[in-house]
Amino acid sequence: MDEFLPLFFAKKLAASLILPPVGPILAMLFGALIASRLPRTGRLLFWSGILSALLLSTPFASSLLLSGLEDIPPVDIAAAKKGQAIVILSGASYNHAPEYGGADTVGLSTLQRVRYGARLAKQTGLPVLVCGGAPSGGTPIAQSMRETLEHEFGVPVKWTESASIDTRENALYSRDILKKEGVGRIVLVTHASHMRRAREYFQRAGFEVIAAPTGFASPHPSVSYDFLPGDAAMHQSSAALHELLGLAAIRLGIDAAR
């Protein structure tokens, strides 16, 4: 796994420089730097940075971006029962959690997926695979997911894939495990905004995918505070743009599965 860590860091760095809030800030700074030589271009970049930062930090913009990604509906339990296994993808990790004795455990986004995966496992009786490595060091997130499922939700985990560092590798390494077990049709659990990209990778890895999205950020009727900037909306906008960049990379063959 170590040989891929520089690539993982490079991808994260590139994304952080493009996505808000850093992307708009860099546009403003660059616009200010070139304003004396290229006044029109400088002003355009500067004001574009300010306006994009303000817009992307509103619930209106974040909901609009997410609504274009969350187009896969919740899974029908009858359809889920036709799967052969449930695959739960990891999200964030909560490292060195003091209330858990300083151990690494699942972060909020992972907990949302684990909770829904546990519900589906109990409703369908299907075996569970959890996947996710530790690209930043510490305990592989799949191990934390397994402990949470078994000790807190009472759901046994049959397979643990703890080497992957991104969604593409989630799919490839899950294939290495499940194909040996004769599993080709899976119920895939991840966030609604992440499902389109995740499903694409798992289908390319040879799976028939029954999508089971969770964590919908459902658009709501526009009201006055939808246009009030806030850090939560900025975070959601950044996450949505990250997914759109990932989908574009797949279409362009930049991040194609091996």
Strands 85-89 and 128-131: parallel
Mean pLDDT of the chain: 92
Pick the CATH number of 77-214 from 3.40.50.620, 3.40.30.10, 3.40.50.720, 3.20.20.100: 3.40.50.620
**Backbone phi and psi for residue 206, each to the nearest 5 degrees, phi listed first:** 105, 10
pLDDT tens digit sequence for 196-211: 999 999 999 999 999 9
Please report the pLDDT score of residue 1 as a whole number: 39
pTM score of the predicted model: 0.89
Instruction: Tell which wins on pLDDT, 139 or 2.
Output: 139
Instruction: Tell which wins on pLDDT, 158 or 4.
Output: 158
pLDDT tens digit sequence for 88-124: 999 999 999 999 999 999 999 999 999 999 999 999 9
Domain with CATH 3.40.50.620 in the chain: 77-214
Contact 62, 240 (CB under 8 A): yes
Whole-angstrom Cα distance, residue 201 to residue 196?
Answer: 9
In which region does residue 230 sit, left (phi positive, over 0), alpha (psi from -120 to 50) or beta (all else)? beta
User: Residue 93's beta-bridge partner residues?
Assistant: 106
In which region does residue 215 sit, left (phi positive, over 0), alpha (psi from -120 to 50) or beta (all else)? left
Q: Is 45's pLDDT higher than 80?
A: yes
> Which helix H or strand E contains 214, and what residues bound it?
strand 208-214
Residue-wise burial string across 201-222, b where 16 or more C-beta atoms lie within 10 A, e elsewhere: bbebbebebbbbbbbebebeee
